[in-house]
Amino acid sequence: MATVYLARDIQHDRQVAVKVLSTDVSIVLGAERFRREIEVTTALVHPNILPILDSGQAGNSLYYVMPYVEGESLRARLDRERSLSIDEAIRITCEIGDALEYAHQHGIVHRDIKPENILLDGDRAVLADFGIAHAMAQVGEQRLTQTGISLGTPTYMSPEQASAERVLDGRSDVYSLACVAYDMIDRKSVV
């Protein structure tokens, strides 16, 4: 769906991540819808939500700019360590849960909670990709499916999301976060 580039913000002399959506995704979303959804999600200010610094269009591709997180994704850590301690899994789950509660209070459902969208920045977990997940949901599953793009990751989808229900609320994100928590747990210590 997208390619992420490491870049330097020369105006503020800092590293940033630039996420460039594929041409297909950009065409399906449309520049105006993308702009509106990014505006909605930039209003989310929470220590466990990766903010969007800027967005725009370059040629046929839409992009947005986020702070660069020097850590790693939860997926990369799980690939390396296979599981986390219960304390670490609970900490990450609680931090992302706080971010989701905040977003849900503002009427925004993420719709794509998965280890790839959770970044570990030192001792802090941050949730990424609010803008694109929300914008894609507004386009509608039928238009996305026609282009071969699916919204969400089957392993982490709630049953209502997997059955393509039109209206989802925060409970869908909570279900997905529970799936992520299950993946993090060191199953040997649960017995």
What tokens were used for 178?
A: 């529970």
What contacts 123, CB < 8 A, 6 or more positions away?
Answer: none
Q: Would residue 129 show up in a list of annotated catalytic residues for this protein?
A: no
147-58-139 Cα angle (round to 5): 35
**Catalytic member of 9, 13, 24, 112:** 112
Element (DSSP H or E) covering residue 3: strand 2-9
Q: How far apart are CA 39 and CA 44, in angstroms?
A: 10
Tell me the Ramachandran region of residue 20: left when phi exceeds 0, alpha when psi lies from -120 to 50, beta otherwise: beta
What sign does the CA torsion over 126, 129, 131, 133 have?
negative
Strand 124-127: give its sheet, edge to edge.
72-73, 118-121, 124-127
Please identify every residue annotated as catalytic: 112
